[in-house]
Structure 1
Amino acid sequence: MNTTPDPSRILEVGFGFWSSKVLLTAVELGVFTALADRSMTGEELGSQIKLHPRGIYDFFDALVALGFLSREGTGASGLYRNTAATATFLDKNRPGYIGGILEMANARLFKSWSDLGEALQTGQPQNEVKHSQTPLFETLYADPDRLEQFIAAMSSLSRGNFQAFATKFDFSNYKTLCDVGGAAGIMSQVITTHHPQIQCISFDLPQVEPIAKRSIAQAGLSDRIQVVSGDFFNDALPKADIITMSAILHDWNLEIKKHLIRLAYESLPEGGALVAIENLIDDDRKENAFGLMMSLNMLVETGDGFDYTGADFWSWCQEIGFKRYEVLHLAGPCSAAIAYK
């Protein structure tokens, strides 16, 4: 039996930023959107997205080797085409587009994560805040273009989880739902589409209201979804049978997490449910690597924000008075932690 250690996994992860940057750059340059449902030679595709000849074949063939493009033939006559996955999820003109979060990763997170070591040693955020000393969300909400990018990114990442929640959770005993930090109102749109008896409220800061109303109107759901503006640091939450918080609690320190859970408790009726949709870390903290790295991302982004386990969530909810708890796996590394009043 060969027990000689193998360094391949170390090298794979150590140089993981190479493959990451190839994919992120392909999204940035619109490779998958340019291809759509067509086949193109390297020269045709390179010309369309304005590449210098030197990098054309290395770049596109790297995407083939990584599994993000397919190719028929070789050399100048070879034809490149999207895979089923990249055609579905990385063509901007397809409804399943999730590239928004990758665009944000390329524009912001790739740079910030280069200072992870400093974040670990100082406990301080390493994003725009590092240079402006302005809190992350204040920076985001002060710039309409950056806010639009952030909301589009989060929406693209979350839609699949919302779809899973809409089909896996039992909504039969509920009539109203308030999505806290509702952004463009995607959660509310998904829920009302699947469950005609549910009326939704999308709750977020005033700067988000026009983005949400536009998105909801485009979906033809303005009569089913109310957009309410407020600030959960200063305002009570709207009353509802279900209160959802998707990728909200992990933004904040423990004190604010408990504040938000208490606000939800106060706005729910008996039997109501608080639903936290997150990349929930497994209780043993050994398996959900994405959840653990997302928690590191919150260190890089916010300093004191962090992700958590289901057991953590339940301990906070019990402290505030919730009676029952469950975890509902949604998709990939994401789950819904649900506490019942």
Structure 2
Amino acid sequence: MAAQTTELSVNPGPIMGLMAGHWQVRMLLAAVEHGVFTELAGRSATSAELAGDLGLVPLGANDLLVGLSHLGLLELRDGKFTNSAVADRFLVQGRAEYIGGYLRFCERELNPAWDGLATALRTGEPQNRAAVDGNPYDTLYQDADATDGFLDSMDLLNTPVALAMSRFDWSRYSSFVDIGGARGNFAHQVVTQNPHLKGAVFDLPPLEPAFKRHMDRLGGANSTVAFHGGDFFTDRLPEADVLVFGHVLHNWGVADRVRLLTSAYEAVRPGGAVFVYDPMAGGDEPSMHAVLAGLAMLVWSHGGAEYSVRQLHGWLAEAGFRPETAEVAGLHDDVLVIGHKDR
């Protein structure tokens, strides 16, 4: 009897639940594409009213809206839908914390690469065409509106890291360059909290207009944060006391990581350092977060993967640095490792 109970308790529900999760993501992305949450900002409406306002077919719109209410993104009262608190904060276009740009990046760039996961597991090759041809970010940054939307979301997600790093003791240093620093969100936060520092960003030249727009919006840091355009695989890195690699190394293979750290050693002034922060979850028992991040790198980049603190210490030593793992409150899923360049 016990064996029968055990057998009956095993069913395909968990497997079907995974498939349903994929369909739920499609619902969210469709709602963002059609501006459902933006249309409901500050108002309530029936499904028929929303369908008319957004040009959707009534039957499908009703199912979508009811489904979004089950997901906690909408609330349904007396036949009318309103945004939930989380949707109102993060899914209304034009608001400071809008993450629709990142969701569109997933829809247009990252998710199609994930569709090739089975192939990537067999071949080891990225499924992102741009990564096969060269740098996966080259095509991403070709459209100004898409770039701003993506970077809005990235800045929202990396601001806690930037705030944590701004509280680090920078007193022994006078300058830093954020390598792959996009439009300068990290650099702005650090300089604002440490006004003795001269900060800079080094990234691909197409990002300079986005950097200037962002600095204009933030105000105050324009004179102390500079932009240097270039490709860190082909151009010399700017000289400074500190070079920062934040969420950069995991995008590339081991040989490229060592190559970047060696270039950094040449650019760091004597007595300076390289700062590297990443999840560094590539241990023996990685979390689901690390697994997903690693597989995302597999399909998106050429050789990218998560890695461990121990591995990074080895690469830093190979490049000439003296490695140290630092304790920084507020980094959450990230770890900071410092490579010191002795005088």
Measured against the shorter chain, the TM-score band is 0.7 to 0.9
SS of residue in 1 equivalent to 2:116: helix
Q: Does 1:35 align with 2:40?
A: yes
Q: Does 1:162 align with 2:159?
A: yes
Map 1:136-175 to 2 at 5 A. 136-137=135-136, 139-140=138-139, 144-145=142-143, 149-150=146-147, 152-167=149-164, 169-173=167-171, 174-175=173-174
Calculate percent identity across the aligned residue pairs: 30
Kindly indicate whether the alpha-carbon contact (under 8 Å) linking 2:281 and 2:290 is maintained by their aligned counterparts in 1: yes
2:263 matched residue in structure 1: 263
1:102 is displaced (CA, Å) by: 0.7
Q: 1:316 to 1:6 in 2, by over 3 A?
A: farther
CA–CA distance in 2 between the matches of 1:134 and 1:125? 10
CA–CA distance in 1 between the matches of 2:324 and 2:25? 41
Q: Give the aligned CA root-mean-square deviation in angstroms.
A: 2.7
Q: Does 1:115 align with 2:82?
A: no
Kindly indicate whether the alpha-carbon contact (under 8 Å) linking 1:241 and 1:272 is maintained by their aligned counterparts in 2: yes
Q: 1:329 to 1:171 in 2, by over 3 A?
A: closer
CA–CA distance in 1 between the matches of 2:52 and 2:194? 47
CA–CA distance in 1 between the matches of 2:145 and 2:262? 29
1:322 is displaced (CA, Å) by: 2.2
Q: Does 1:65 align with 2:70?
A: yes
Kindly indicate whether the alpha-carbon contact (under 8 Å) linking 1:199 and 1:225 is maintained by their aligned counterparts in 2: yes
CA–CA distance in 2 between the matches of 1:56 and 1:89? 21
CA–CA distance in 2 between the matches of 1:72 and 1:294? 38
1:102 matched residue in structure 2: 103
1:64 is displaced (CA, Å) by: 0.8
1:322 matched residue in structure 2: 322
Equivalent AA in structure 1 for residue 215 of structure 2: I
CA–CA distance in 2 between the matches of 1:195 and 1:279? 25
1:235 matched residue in structure 2: 235
1:180 is displaced (CA, Å) by: 0.8
1:59 is displaced (CA, Å) by: 0.2
1:330 is displaced (CA, Å) by: 4.8
Instruction: Count residues in correspondence.
Output: 331
CA–CA distance in 1 between the matches of 2:254 and 2:213? 34
Q: 1:172 to 1:257 in 2, by over 3 A?
A: closer
CA–CA distance in 1 between the matches of 2:271 and 2:84? 46
1:205 matched residue in structure 2: 204
Q: Provide the TM-score with structure 2 as the length reference.
A: 0.85
1:271 is displaced (CA, Å) by: 5.4
2:189 matched residue in structure 1: 190
2:82 matched residue in structure 1: 81
Kindly indicate whether the alpha-carbon contact (under 8 Å) linking 2:176 and 2:244 is maintained by their aligned counterparts in 1: yes
Equivalent AA in structure 2 for residue 316 of structure 1: W
